[in-house]
Structure 1
C-alpha cells in the first residue's frame, strides 16, 4: 500500500458547517482551493494507494512525522510565488528540506501583472529558489501552471520545469466536453457572475448586469464573503477599489435580494452551477467549476496566474484590458468558443499523466482503475447548502416584508360606554 500525504486544507469527504469553515479557514481564504485539492485526491486515489490530507508547514518536527508515515508527498499549489506568501513558502521549504520521501508539486504559479514582468518578484527570489531547490532534490521536475511561471523559474536558473496546468481541470478526466445549451443569452437567462473585489473596473459591469439580468446570481468564493453572509456584523476587508458598487456588503442588491450564493464544498457548488446558461468573471476556479459542471464560461483575466491557465487550456477569455464598462454577458457568450478547450483536453491530460508517471505516481484514469469510486462517495454525502439562501440580511428583509403585510381583520369589541 502506497501512502500519499496530500497537502490540502480539508479532506474532500469531511463535512463541516459554514460557520466552522469560516472560523477555522478550511478553504484557505478561497473555496477554489478545495477544487484543485479534491481533484488531486481523486486522481491519486488508485487501488493500492492510501491518500491522507495534511499540512506541510510545520518544519522539521512535521517532516519527522511525514517521514515515518508517508511514502510520497504531493503538494498542489496555486499562486504560491507572490510576495505576501513568502513566509508560508519559507515554512514549507523548511519542512521539505527535512523530508526523506519523494515530493511532487502540482501546478504552482507565479502571480504577476498581465505584463508578466518577473522583476516584480525580485524581493522573494531567494525564497522561491530555496523552495524549488528543495523540491528538485526530491523530484525529477516541478509542475507549474503555465508559461509565465515556467519563464520565471528558468530565469532563476532551473531547467527541470514542466507546464502541467492545474489538476482541477482534470477532475472529470480527459473526456470532459462542454457545449452551449442555448443559442444566445436573453434577459431571462440564468447567469453566474464571479468576481475579485480588488480588481479595478468591475463596478460598472456589476451594476449593469444586476439590473439587466434578473436571474443573474453572484457566486462568491472568498472567505470574506462567507463571513458577510453568515453575520450582519461582519465587516469586509478594505480594498482600493470602490466597494459601494460591488456585492461585498449587505446593502448591495445582489446580497440584499438573495442573489448571492456561497458553497463551502466543491460538489454542491458544481451541482449549483450546472443549472446556469453561462458563467463569467475574474475567478479562475469559479469558471473552472462551471466548466466541470458542463456550463460554458468565460474568464476575465486580470493577472498572469489567470492568464497563463486560460491560455494553457484554451479556456475562453478576455483580459481586463479588453473589458469595457458596457461589456455585456450576451456579447461574451456569443464569442465563447469551447472548440479548442474540448479538442485539447485529452492531449493535456496525457501530458499530466506522463508527469505523474515520471514521479512514480498512478492515477484513476489508467486502465484497470475505477475513476467513479470517488464520485460515488462524494455524491452520497449530505453537504451543507447555499449559505446565501440563509444570509442574515435576507432573513431580516423577509421579516420586514412579512411585518408589512396586511393582517386578517378581527372582530373589534365595541367601545366601552
Structure 2
C-alpha cells in the first residue's frame, strides 16, 4: 500500500521523526518553519506511534508534499492517514471546517486514526455537541464520501459522534501506546519512590521539595530556555532575571538544577526515563504518562478533561480526577494497580490491529518500534555552560539574603520580590544529581 501520512515533514515539526536531531538547531528550525508555534512534543509520540505501526514490508509511507495537486495525490496513493488528536473541540472548530473542505477533493479513502473529542468533563457532552455539531456533521460526511473510516480514541468521542450524525466509527484508542508491540507489561518496583511528574503538578512546590529526587518532564513551555542559544547571549545576571520574570523563582530553581527537562526527540525522552530508573509517573499529560509506560514505568493519570479521562479509561491506565490538593505520592504509589491494564492490553492491541487489517492498511501490525534505535542527540554545550554560571550566580545571591537582593537589584535594575533565598540548589547537585545524566 502507498499510504500518504497527512502532514508535512518540515524540520523541527511534529512529523520530523526520522531525522537525527541537532539540538543546536531545533529552536531556530521551529521559528523558521512554524514561528515556534508547533512545540508540544506529546504530538510526536502519537505521530511516531502510527508511523511505526504502519511500517511494514507491504507499505510505503509518504508525507504531504504541498506541491502535489489533488489529481496527483489521487493517482499516486492508495489511502490517506489523518491523525486528528483532539480535533473535536471548540478550539479547533475552524480546523474541522478546513479539513472537511480539503478532503472533499479526495478520491481515495481517508482514514482518521484516531480522533479525540475534548471538553472540560463528561458532563459537558451535550454542550460540546451543540457547539460543534454542524462542522462535525460535515466532517463525518466528508470522510465517508471518500470511502474511508473514522477511529476514536475513547468512548466519549464515540458518544459525541453518535449524537451528531450516523457513523460506523470504531473505538480503538490512540496509536501511541501500541508502538512497543503486543507484549507491553507494567510491573511496580517496591522500593524508594523515584517519581517523574508532568502537566499541572508543576504548581505543587511542596511535592518537589518532598521528593528531591523527582524530575518534571515538560512538553512545550520550556522549549526556548532549553534550546535557544540566543536566549543565553546576555550577561548571567540578565539571563537569571529573564528566567525569573518569565517563569517565576520556583520553576527557575528547578530548571537550573536540571529538574525540568524537555526532550524534543521522542527516543531521547524514552532513553532518559529508562536510564534514570524512575519507578512512578504522575501528572495530567496523557502522553507524558504514556511515554513512561512505553519505558516500563507505572503511571497514574490525573484526568483534567474528557480527553485524558477517556484515554485512561479505554487503556485501563490507573487514573483519578485532578485537583489542586497536595498529593500523597507514597499512598498513590501503593494503591496504583496495573493488573487490569496488563490483562487487557493484548485485547486492545488486537482491536487496533484488526481495524488496520480490516481496511487493508496492514496485513499484520509492525511489532518492533522503528525509532528506539536512534542515537541520542547531544545537549547544547553553550546552554549547559551558561546554565552552570547562572546557577552559581543564583547561589551567591542566595547566600547573602537581603544584601544579595539589593546587589542583584543594582546589577539588573529590577527588584525581584519573588525570590525565595531559603531554597537553592548546589553545583554538586547539578554535577552529580541522578537527574543530570
TM-score of the superposition, structure 1-length normalised? 0.80
Q: CA deviation at 1:86?
A: 1.9
Q: Which residue number in structure 1 is paired with residue 312 of structure 2?
A: 310
2:132 aligned with 1:124, yes or no? Answer: yes
Counterpart selection for 1:12 from 9, 13, 17: 17
Q: For the Cα contact (< 8 Å) 1:258–1:394, is it kept in 2?
A: no
Q: Deviations 1:292-315 (Å, cap 9, x if unpaired)? A: 110111100010001000000100
Change (3 A) 1:101 1:169: same
Q: Which residue of 1 aligns with 2:98?
A: 91
Equivalent of residue 37 in structure 1, options 47, 50, 57: 47
Q: 1:54 to 1:43 in 2, by over 3 A?
A: same
**RMSD between aligned residues:** 3.1
Cα distance change, pair 212–292 in 1 and its aligned pair in 2 (3 A): same
1:24-79, CA deviations, whole angstroms, 9 ceiling, x for partnerless residues? Answer: 34894311111111111111111131111237xx7x97534422332110112210
Aligned partners of 1:259 and 1:388 also within 8 Å: no
Aligned to 2:287, the other structure's residue is in SS state helix
Runs (5+) with no aligned partner, structure 1 = 197-201, 235-243, 405-417
Deviation at 1:123, TM superposition (A): 2.8
Match of 1:210 among 200, 208, 211: 208
Equivalences for 1:53-72 in 2 at 5 Å? Answer: 53-54=63-64, 62-72=69-79
TM alignment of 1:227-246, pairs within 5 A: 227-231=224-228
- Equivalent runs, 1:180-329 vs 2, <5 Å: 180-181=188-189, 183-184=190-191, 186=192, 189-196=193-200, 202=201, 206-222=204-220, 224-231=221-228, 248-249=247-248, 252=251, 253-274=253-274, 275-320=277-322, 323=323, 325-329=325-329
Distance of aligned partners of 1:344 and 1:20 in 2 relative to their CA distance in 1, 3 Å threshold: farther
- CA-CA distance at 1:89 after TM superposition: 2.1
Match for 1:371 among 351, 367, 373? 367
The offset of 1:291, in angstroms, is 0.1
Q: Alpha carbons of 1:107 and 1:391: their partners in 2 closer, same or farther (altered >3 Å)?
A: farther
- Is this contact kept in 2: 1:6–1:75, CA < 8 A? yes
* Larger relative helix fraction: 2
Cα–Cα, structure 1 residues 393 and 124, in superposed 2: closer, same or farther, change >3 Å?
farther
Q: Which residue of 1 aligns with 2:116?
A: 109
Shift of 1:403: 8.7
Displacement of 1:400 after TM fit? Answer: 2.9
User: In 2, Cα distance between the equivalents of 1:157 and 1:116?
Assistant: 20
Distance 1:288-1:203 versus aligned 2 partners, 3 A rule? closer
Structure 2: 5+ residue stretches without partners: 8-13, 233-242, 398-437
SS of corresponding position for 1:108: strand
Distance in 2, matches of 1:228 and 1:120, equals 39
Instruction: Please tell me whether the aligned partners of residues 112 and 303 of structure 1 are also in contact (alpha carbons under 8 angstroms).
Output: yes
Q: Which moved more, 1:345-354 or 1:64-73?
A: 64-73
TM-score by length of 2: 0.77
Q: Secondary structure of the residue that 1:19 maps to in structure 2?
A: helix
Q: Which secondary structure does the structure 1 equivalent of 2:85 belong to?
A: coil
User: 1:79 and 2:86 equivalent?
Assistant: yes
SS in 2 for 1:142: strand
How far apart, in 2, do the equivalents of 1:402 and 1:312 lie?
47
Deviation at 1:386, TM superposition (A): 5.8
Give distance in 1, aligned partners of 2:59 and 2:387. 46
Return the alpha-carbon distance in structure 1 between the equivalents of residues 329 and 380 of structure 2: 25
| Counterpart pick for 1:143 among 151, 166, 177 | 151
Using the alignment, how far apart are the partners of 1:401 and 1:215 within structure 2?
A: 21
Relative to structure 1, the CA distance from residue 294 to residue 248 in structure 2 (aligned partners, 3 Å threshold; closer, same or farther) is farther
Q: How does 1:330-345 map to 2 (within 5 A)?
A: 330-345=330-345
Count of aligned pairs: 371
CA distance, structure 1, for counterparts of residue 194 and residue 375 of structure 2: 25
Aligned partners of 2:328 and 2:395: how far apart in 1? 36
